[in-house]
Amino acid sequence: MKKIKAFFFKTPSRSILVIYLTFAITGSLLLYLPISNFGNVSFMDCLFTSFSSMSNTGLSTVDISNTFTNFGLIILILLMDIGGIGIFLVFLSIILFLGKKIGFKERYLLAQEQNQFSIKGIVRHIKITVIVIISIQFIAFIVFLIFLSTNRSLFYFQDSSSESGGSLVLNALFMAVSLFTNSGFEIWPVIRILFEERNYFMIAFSSFLIFVGGISLIMGIGSFFDSKNLLNHNQKFVIKIMVYMHLIIWIISIPLYIILEFNHSLSDFSVFDKIFVSIFQTINLRSGGFGILSNNNKSGGALLFEMILMFIGASPNSVAGGIRTTTLFVIVAAIFSLVKGKNQVILFKKAIKIETVHNAFIVFISSLTLVLFSTILIIFFTPNVSLDEVLYEVVSAFGTVGLSLGITKNLNIFAEIILIINMFVGRLGISILLTSLIPKQIKSYSYTEIDLVIG
């Protein structure tokens, strides 16, 4: 027993991997219970939906509104919230709420899960972050409850757990959690209806929830509301980079998307609506996953651009997947430094550690390899689908976005398992996967360097 425990919990990264796997599998078992569904779902569908919820992706092999009862939908809400906020953050918050102390091991695991440099002040940040998250989700719940209750004619709500569709209160709670955690799940197509009704306030509010969820939870949200501001200079610098990159990619993406889709999926919109839709879509594509435009009318350039945004994702230790914005930033900065002949990668008069630069390239290459290899395997197992459909599906799974070209429900079990792996790795980060499988070894010696002809 000790050997088994030592193997599965050998390193913090492996512990996180095992615990997340355990929660996702437990979630699938709960969804498979007779009380959770209407009996028209397989265990594989429940497993896929559970992993999609835990990874905040939104891809689904079933129609959740006609598959799961109110109890099952509540399970999905819990899975989305636990997966989005982080298992250890939720677990340690409960411990603090019960008035107990958090040990060094638990603090270290939380730091690993949330990609923190230090455990200093982490307990205080936990308290602030959880309070802010609960407050945001509660406000979102109230806003959607008011909207849904005043627009009942647009929806069809049930008050009985024996019928599909969910109650009004459950729909409001579901949307609040799904938007903040960037999960992309909807009981009813609320977001699409918002655009059809031109409800700009609710669209802007939904965009805000997706945007905030895409920012670092502890370092971003927690530190912003921390009056004591216990962060060191390095942490403040990282937060600045994360926020800047999050905004810059969003702002640059808006005009590009308008240009690419002006005469395609946006052709029926007014100029104002074209801008408004593009504002939502460009933040939605990096982690949200709420479908608002028909994929049939999109240009090839727009689909490729969408895949790039999904692959990049949002900020590290947020609810988003992908390679993360800071990885892209370091790679671009490294290329510019190399072209200029500099020996160091300089950002805002600060030199980035060479180990960080190496890690950024490892994450990028490993992620690209996973996506391409997964695409090849799915095409091999399901030859009736096209390359662009599969590549879009895989990138969406890895970026934990959840958008699809409509092939998710037609995939076989092998393809579904491959997508589950991509969703899982995309949510936790490929760094955790690599370090859990290949623990770092510290060597006290070095080898003779040689040169190679490249390029």
Cα 41 from chain centroid? 25
Please state the separation of Cα 358 from the chain's center in Å: 24
Q: Does 295 reside within a domain?
A: yes
Flag whether 259 is in a domain: yes
What per-residue confidence (pLDDT) applies to 354? 87
Is residue 454 assigned to a domain?
no
Average pLDDT over residues 125-136: 80
Is residue 25, in this structure, part of any structural domain at all?
Answer: yes
Residue 255 has pLDDT above 90, yes or no: yes
Q: CA–CA separation, 15 vs 189, rounded Å?
A: 37
Angle at 222 between CA 403 and CA 105, to 5 degrees: 95
The structure's pTM equals 0.87
C-alpha closest to that of 426 among 303, 305, 320, 286: 320
Q: How far is CA 186 from CA 35, 144, 256, in A?
A: 20, 13, 28
Provide mean pLDDT across the span 294-313: 90
Instruction: Give the pLDDT of residue 160.
Output: 44
- The answer to whether residue 223 scores a pLDDT higher than 80 is no
What CA–CA distance (Å, rounded) separates 17 from 6? 14
**What is the mean predicted confidence (pLDDT) over 127-151?**
88
Number of separate domains in the chain: 1
Question: What Cα–Cα distance (Å) separates residue 431 from each residue in 16, 142, 218?
Answer: 12, 38, 19
Specify whether the CB–CB gap between 73 and 169 falls below 8 A.
no
Whether the predicted pLDDT of 146 surpasses 90: yes
- Split at pLDDT 50, 70, 90, the class of 220 is low
Query: What pLDDT band is residue 243 in, cutting at 50, 70 and 90?
Result: confident
pLDDT 10s digits, 315-342:
777 777 899 888 998 999 899 888 888 8
Distance CA 235, CA 237 (A): 5
How far is the CA of 243 from the CAs of 159, 217, 249, 409, in angstroms?
42, 12, 10, 36
Q: Which residue has the higher pLDDT, 158 or 250?
A: 250
Rounded mean pLDDT, 345-368: 87
The pLDDT of residue 305 is above 90: yes
User: Could you say which DSSP state residue 262 is in?
Assistant: T
Sign of the CA dihedral running 40, 44, 47, 48: negative
Residue 437 pLDDT: 74
In contact, 223 and 229? CB cutoff 8 Å: yes
Over pLDDT 90: what percentage of the chain? 40
Is the pLDDT at 393 greater than 90, yes or no?
Answer: yes
At 16 the pLDDT is 78
Mean pLDDT of 61-70: 92
Q: Domain range holding 176?
A: 8-437
Token pair, residue 198, equals: 């031109």
Q: Is the pLDDT of residue 227 over 50?
A: no
- In the chain, what is the straight-line distance between the N-terminal and C-terminal CA atoms, in Å? 51
Give residue 391's Cα distance to chain centre: 18
Q: How many CB atoms lie within 10 A of CB 235?
A: 17
Evaluate whether residue 1 is within a structural domain: no
**Cβ pair 181, 84 in contact under 8 A:** yes
Task: Calculate mean pLDDT across residues 84-92.
Answer: 71
Q: What does the mean pLDDT of the chain come to? A: 83
Q: Is residue 54, in this structure, part of any structural domain at all?
A: yes
Mean pLDDT check: name the lowest of 233-237, 365-369, 378-382, 409-413.
233-237
Residue 452 lies in a domain: no
> How far is 386 from 401, CA to CA, in rounded Å?
20
- Residue 161's pLDDT is 42
- pLDDT at residue number 34: 94
What's the mean pLDDT in 164-170?
73
pLDDT at 145: 92
- What is the pLDDT averaged over residues 299-308? 93
Answer yes or no: is 71 within a domain.
yes
Average pLDDT over every residue of 168-175: 91
Query: Residues 231, 234, 235, 241: what is their CA dihedral angle, to the nearest 10 degrees?
Result: 140
> Residue 237: its pLDDT value, please?
73
Average pLDDT over residues 387-394: 95
